[in-house]
């Protein structure tokens, strides 16, 4: 994998076990993290959890695990994407480009910045959301979900649209992925006194003005 990424022009910061991965992560700023689940020492899931607690850097899990519940568990820990070992190299490179691009850019010029909309400020260029001037800490997935709700403020956003926004590289994202991510968003918004998304059972979510 390292040779593939190097050939594609990426600078690699390699680590061979979980503890080293955390040390290198803290010492060397990176644009994205690729984690193997089956690392010596701390496994990829624990490394993901610790990295996400310290940073909103995009995290992509690479694993041979076939259990459908595993991607959901990892996304719940804060991973941004999951790709199975054996996937075409072109898909891996495309997913890396996507998570990095989503972190640093928006969808269109018109959507990149919303300021003063009922107290919300959304700046996709800077990957920041603020409520009445207070920064909302958010992972990449949380940012995409909350950004869509802010763009559609006061409207009911169906589950399918939220899933497409949160996991644009997935052909069939699991609806179960939404609940834990939006629960974390609610906790963060509650902490700063901001309005929280309301679930409309079996339909979607709405962020009221």
Given a contact cutoff of 8 angstroms between Cβ atoms, the answer to whether 70 and 62 are in contact is no
Predicted structure pTM score: 0.53
Q: Which of 34-38, 61-65, 134-138 has the highest mean pLDDT?
A: 134-138
Enumerate the domain spans of the chain: 2-104, 109-206
pLDDT given for residue 136 in this prediction: 94
pLDDT given for residue 104 in this prediction: 55
Total residue length of the chain: 209
Given a contact cutoff of 8 angstroms between Cβ atoms, the answer to whether 153 and 131 are in contact is no
Give the residues across from 84 on adjacent strands.
63
- Is the pLDDT higher at 55 or at 176? 176
Both tokens of residue 202?
């079996």
Alpha-carbon distances, residue 9 vs 81, 88, 93 (angstroms) = 21, 18, 11
Pairing of strands 204-206, 198-200: antiparallel
Q: What is the mean pLDDT of the segment spanning 150-167?
A: 91
Q: What is the mean pLDDT of the segment spanning 119-141?
A: 87
Q: How far apart are the first and last CA of the chain?
A: 46
Span of 97-101, 118-122, 162-166 with lowest mean pLDDT: 97-101
Q: What gap in Å lies between CA 160 and CA 38, rounded to an integer?
A: 32
Q: What is the mean pLDDT of the segment spanning 170-193?
A: 91
Q: What is the mean pLDDT of the segment spanning 154-172?
A: 88
Q: Which of 37-41, 98-102, 156-160 has the highest mean pLDDT?
A: 156-160
Nearest to 85 by CA among 70, 98, 103: 70
DSSP state of 10: P
Secondary structure class of 95 (helix, strand, coil): helix
Q: What gap in Å lies between CA 146 and CA 196, rounded to an integer?
A: 10
pLDDT tens digits, one per residue of 5-57: 877 778 888 888 999 999 998 888 788 899 888 888 888 889 998 998 888 88
Q: Which CATH architecture has domain 2-104?
A: 3-Layer(aba) Sandwich (3.40)
Q: What gap in Å lies between CA 59 and CA 150, rounded to an integer?
A: 24
Q: Which CATH architecture has domain 109-206?
A: Orthogonal Bundle (1.10)
Span of 27-41, 75-89, 107-121, 153-167 with lowest mean pLDDT: 107-121
- Is the pLDDT higher at 147 or at 74? 147
pLDDT given for residue 109 in this prediction: 38
């Amino acid at each position: 994998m390292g040779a593939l990424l190097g050939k594609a022009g990426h600078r690699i910061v390699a680590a061979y076990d979980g503890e080293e991965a955390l040390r290198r992560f803290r010492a060397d700023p990176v644009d994205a993290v690729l984690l193997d689940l089956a690392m010596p020492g701390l496994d990829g899931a624990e490394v993901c959890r610790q990295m996400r607690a310290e940073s909103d850097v995009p995290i992509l899990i690479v694993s041979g695990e076939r259990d459908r519940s595993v991607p959901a568990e990892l996304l719940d820990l804060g991973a941004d994407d999951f790709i199975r070992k054996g996937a075409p190299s072109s898909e891996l490179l495309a997913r890396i480009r996507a998570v990095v691009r989503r972190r640093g850019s928006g969808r269109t010029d018109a959507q990149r910045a919303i300021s003063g909309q009922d107290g919300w400020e959304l700046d996709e260029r800077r990957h920041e959301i603020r409520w009445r001037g207070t920064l909302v800490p958010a992972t990449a997935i949380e940012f995409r979900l909350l950004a869509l709700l802010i763009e559609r403020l006061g409207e009911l956003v169906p589950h399918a649209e939220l899933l497409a926004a949160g996991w644009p590289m997935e052909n069939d994202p699991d609806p179960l992925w939404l609940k834990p991510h939006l629960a974390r968003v609610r906790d963060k918004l509650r902490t700063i006194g901001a309005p929280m998304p309301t679930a409309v059972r079996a339909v979607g979510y709405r962020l009221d003005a």
